[in-house]
Chains A and B, each alone.
Chain A
Amino acid sequence: AQKVTQAQTEISVVEKEDVTLDCVYETRDTTYYLFWYKQPPSGELVFLIRRNSFDEQNEISGRYSWNFQKSTSSFNFTITASQVVDSAVYFCALSEARAAGNKLTFGGGTRVLVKP
């Protein structure tokens, strides 16, 4: 069973629109971390944010914000006033305390296309 689900495979918006990426995870662990990574067209994976399972505070960083809700097992990501440079594939990932090592389980990714 997939542990991290990103149901939206692709989202297309026009510049300056807001876009929200959904991430739903599944774990039996009570202790875990969630991450978001960005993969721009150039191909590298860029770390954006991490959140531990005990910290449900939402976070804002510039135009990016994250909404973590344990009750619905979701860790959603919003880009406000999107720009063309936000075009990328975004991955949500989970690491669980009980898993050996630091195994990151990734969702399938959401491709965001921001049109000028």
Chain B
Amino acid sequence: DSGVTQTPKHLITATGQRVTLRCSPRSGDLSVYWYQQSLDQGLQFLIQYYNGEERAKGNILERFSAQQFPDLHSELNLSSLELGDSALYFCASSEVLGAGTYNEQFFGPGTRLTVL
């Protein structure tokens, strides 16, 4: 158990809909990262927050957004869903700001999103 929790574990929805994925980081971790894992694209970095502020953006679509709340939990919002958005979405947390040399990211169990 990494200490990172994600809900829901599974989500099935239809094209055009909007969903919210939730992540609670390990106790004390200020950084939260979101990743998307699909069969054809592998594990891709989406976005990072540190202590409530956005700090880095990766391959995140404009239809997707995220935020980190004062209690440090984070939500990833996916809207106007398309079939291609079906994937595993992982949240990871770390103590400090960046993916520094010795900075370990702890991954949650993921949310499996299926868009029908």
Q: Do A and B associate with each other?
A: no
Report which B residues bind A (CB closer than 8 A).
none
Report which A residues bind B (CB closer than 8 A).
none
